[in-house]
């Protein structure tokens, strides 16, 4: 069981590195493990400034994770309009939003019982 947690931590770290590599902003980590009937253990949420930036973040995450641990998302959704791209790494789900779409859907509010960790970026 410990190996799964280590790989989740490593995956989250790589995802955050991928986001920071292209200056994604407002990165939050939601720990869903204490909540019943969740589809995964963690959400990583961030936003970009445009659809081009959202796609750059998604691409950076995929490259960073693939290069380090040879893993790729099980499913990616929303890349066509790049307002909200969901990347499913099974136990970690990444949400990359444009700012106004993130505010509208308020994932953090919907998952209010989750433990939220705000990631401080060095370039903010």
Which band of pLDDT confidence, cut at 50, 70 and 90, is reported for residue 123?
Answer: low
Which band of pLDDT confidence, cut at 50, 70 and 90, is reported for residue 1?
Answer: very low
What is the spatial distance between Cα 5 and Cα 44, in angstroms, rounded to a whole number?
16
Domains of the chain: 2-118 (3.30.460.10)
> What's the mean per-residue pLDDT of the chain?
93
DSSP code per residue over the chain: -HHHHHHHHHHHHHHHHHHHHTT-EEEEEEE-TTSTT-S-SEEEEEEESSHHHHHHHHHHHHHHHHHHH----SEEE-TTT-SEEEEE-SSEEEEEEEHHHHHHH-HHHHTTTSEEEEPPPTT-
**CA proximity to 82, closest of 95, 69, 65:** 95
Instruction: Render pLDDT for 38-90 as a digit per residue (tens, 0 to 9).
Output: 989 999 999 999 999 999 999 999 999 999 999 999 999 999 999 999 999 99
């Amino acid at each position: 069981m410990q190996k799964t947690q280590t790989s989740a931590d490593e995956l989250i770290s790589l995802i955050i590195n991928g986001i920071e590599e292209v200056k994604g902003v407002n990165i939050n980590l939601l720990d869903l493990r204490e909540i019943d009937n969740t589809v995964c253990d963690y959400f990583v949420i961030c936003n970009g400034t445009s659809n081009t930036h959202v796609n750059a973040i998604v691409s950076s995450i995929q490259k960073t994770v693939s290069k380090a641990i040879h893993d790729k998302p099980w499913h990616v959704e929303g890349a066509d309009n790049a307002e909200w791209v969901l990347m499913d790494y099974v136990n970690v789900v990444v949400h990359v939003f444009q700012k106004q779409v993130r505010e509208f859907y308020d994932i953090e509010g919907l998952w209010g019982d989750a433990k939220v960790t705000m990631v401080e970026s060095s370039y903010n």
